[in-house]
Amino acid sequence: MDWNSLRPSLPSWLRWPSHKISRHIFLGIFIGFSLSLSSATLALYYRTKRRRLPTTQFEPRPIELRSDEILHGVTGLIGNTPLIRINSLSDALGIEILGKAEFLNPGGSVKDRVALRMIDDAERLGLLRPHTGSRIFEGTVGSTGISIATVARARGYEATIIMPDDVAEEKVKALLALGASVERVRPTSIVDKKQYVNLAKLYALQFGHRDSPGDANSNPAVYRPHILSSTSSMVVTSAPPDPQRGTEDPRDNEDFVNRPRGFFADQFENKSNFEAHFAGTGPEIWRQTNGHLHAFVSGAGTGGTIAGTGQYLKSRKQDILIALSDPEGSGLYNKVKHGVMFDRKETEGTKRRHQVDTVVEGIGINRLTNNINLALPIVDEAFRISDAEAVAMSRYLVQNDGLFLGSSSACNLIACIKLARKMGWNRGQTIVTILCDSGSRHYSKFWNDEYLRNANIPVDPQIMEDLLHPSDIEEV
C-alpha cells in the first residue's frame, strides 16, 4: 500500500499539503526570515552610526551632576556652570545671546576658576603645602580676593587681601566673613610702591619677618625669609632652615618643606589665570553650544578670561569673533582700536576712582599685563561701555528676565547688543558672554541710586529702548 492510496482515507489535518500550497508556505517563511534579518541588520547599523556620530563631530559634553553624586568639598562646585539664554535680549534682536552663569560658582564669581587654578598649580610645583600655616597674599578689587579666601579656607591656608578703599563695602564684609585679613589702601597708580598689588607682593616678601604685615602668627624668632624661585612673577617666601644644619640644601630638609610660606598669587601676571579659562571656560562653552557660536564677548580686568577663553574658541573655530567690553576710563578700548593704551578721561582731572574712572568694578585697566598680552592678538573688536549704559542694562534685566547681575555682567551684555547691531545679525546667530557676578556685591554703589545720583550717573531706561530699537529713533 503506497502513500497515494492512503491519502484519501486520512483526516484533512494529516494530509500533506499540495505542491502549490507547499511552495507558498516556503516562500512565506523565506520572505519573513529575510525581512527579519534585514530589519535587524539595519537597526544595528543605525544604532552603531548614532553612537559614532557625536564622537566624530564633538567632544563629550561635561559631566552633568546628579543628585546622587558627591563632590569633594567646595572646590568641586567650581566650574561647569550653566549657559543660559537671555530671553529678552535674544527675542528683541532675533539672535541667541547666551550668558555663562559664573555667579553660580561657590565664591560667587568667575574668579573662583582662577583662584583654584593658581593654588592647584602652586601645590603641583611644590610652592605651597596645605595645613602648614602658609598664607596667600593678593591685591584685588574684591572678587578674586573672595575666591582666594574661599579656596584657601577649603585647602588649609590663610589669606591676606589688599584692596582699594573705594570698592563696594559688600566685598569687604564677605572677605572678613571668610576669615581673610583685609587691608584697604588709597587707590594709586601701579608705579606707586603703595599700590595694592605692589603691597601684596611686598607683604609676601616680608612673610616670616617679625611683625610682618598680614602675618598675625609670625614667629618672633624668625628674622628673614628664604625666597624660593618660581616660574612666573609669583613670590614664595619661607623662613630659612635651621642654621645648625649649615649649608645643607633646604629643599632636602623635611622640616623646611613643612614650614609656613608666604605666597603672592599675582593674578595679573600669573599664567595660571589664562590656563584656568583655556582648559575650563572655553571647552565648556564649546561643548554647551555644540560648537555653534559666532562670537564671544568679555571684559578684561586681568585679561585672563578673554585671553584663555578666546584663544581656546579660536583654536576650534578661527572665524569666531572675540569682542572686548571696556568701561569708561580704561585704556584697553583704545589699545585694541588704535594701538594706544590711553583714555581721554585721564586728562580731565575729574576721576571718581584713581585706577579706572567708572562705577563698574572688576573690568578695565590702564596697563598691559601678561594675560592681556595673551589676549590682544585674538581680540577682533572692542566696545566702549558707559556707566549709564551698564546701569540701564542691569535694571532692564531685572524687569524683563529676573536676572540680578553686577556691573561687569551688564557691560558685557551691552557689548553683545552693540556687536549684533554692528554685524547686522538678526537671523539666529549666537553670541556667548560671561555673567561674572551677581548684584549682591554691588548694593552700596552700582545698585545704589543715591550713590549714582551723587556721581552724576543717570538711571535712564530709555537707553535700553534706544539700543534695542534704533529704528524708532530714525523714524522720528
Dump the DSSP string for 372-436.
HHHHGGG--EEEEE-HHHHHHHHHHHHHHH---B-HHHHHHHHHHHHHHHHHT--SS-EEEEEE-
- pLDDT score of 220: 42
Q: Residue 344 in 3-state DSSP? A: helix
- pLDDT score of 341: 84
Average pLDDT of the chain to the nearest whole number: 84
What average pLDDT does the segment 2-28 reach? 61
Q: What percent of the chain has pLDDT over 70?
A: 73
What average pLDDT does the segment 48-58 reach? 55
Nearest CA among 451, 448, 418 for reference residue 433 = 418
Q: Is 422 among the catalytic positions?
A: no
Q: What is the pLDDT of residues 359-393, one digit of tens each?
A: 998 899 999 999 999 999 999 999 999 999 999 99
What average pLDDT does the segment 44-60 reach? 58
What average pLDDT does the segment 437-462 reach? 94
C-beta of residue 180 within 8 angstroms of C-beta of residue 216: no
**Predicted confidence (pLDDT) at residue 131 exceeds the cutoff of 90:** yes
Whole-angstrom Cα distance, residue 382 to residue 384?
A: 7
Give the count of beta carbons closer than 10 Å to the beta carbon of residue 83: 16
Q: What contacts 20, CB < 8 A, 6 or more positions away? A: none
- pLDDT score of 387: 96
pLDDT band at 11 (very low <50, low <70, confident <90, very high): low
C-beta of residue 333 within 8 angstroms of C-beta of residue 267: no
Helix/strand/coil percent split, the chain, to 5: 45, 15, 40
- pLDDT score of 352: 44
**Predicted confidence (pLDDT) at residue 5 exceeds the cutoff of 70:** no
- pLDDT score of 145: 95
Give the count of beta carbons closer than 10 Å to the beta carbon of residue 218: 21
Whole-angstrom Cα distance, residue 394 to residue 382?
A: 20
- pLDDT score of 55: 45
**Predicted confidence (pLDDT) at residue 40 exceeds the cutoff of 90:** no
**Predicted confidence (pLDDT) at residue 8 exceeds the cutoff of 70:** no
Greater model confidence, 247 or 407? 407
Whole-number Cα distances in Å, 298 to 285, 302, 404: 13, 12, 18
- pLDDT score of 89: 98
- pLDDT score of 473: 43
Whole-angstrom Cα distance, residue 191 to residue 369?
A: 14
**Predicted confidence (pLDDT) at residue 248 exceeds the cutoff of 70:** no
Judged by average pLDDT, the poorest of 59-73, 98-112, 304-318, 454-468 is: 59-73
Whole-number Cα distances in Å, 90 to 15, 121, 410, 420: 77, 39, 15, 10
- pLDDT score of 12: 58
Residue with the three cell numbers 584713581:
354
pLDDT band at 227 (very low <50, low <70, confident <90, very high): low
pLDDT band at 17 (very low <50, low <70, confident <90, very high): low
**Predicted confidence (pLDDT) at residue 223 exceeds the cutoff of 50:** no
Q: What is the pLDDT of residues 147-172, one digit of tens each?
A: 999 999 999 999 999 999 988 899 99
Exactly one of 49, 100, 111, 337 is catalytic; name it. 111
C-beta of residue 233 within 8 angstroms of C-beta of residue 273: no
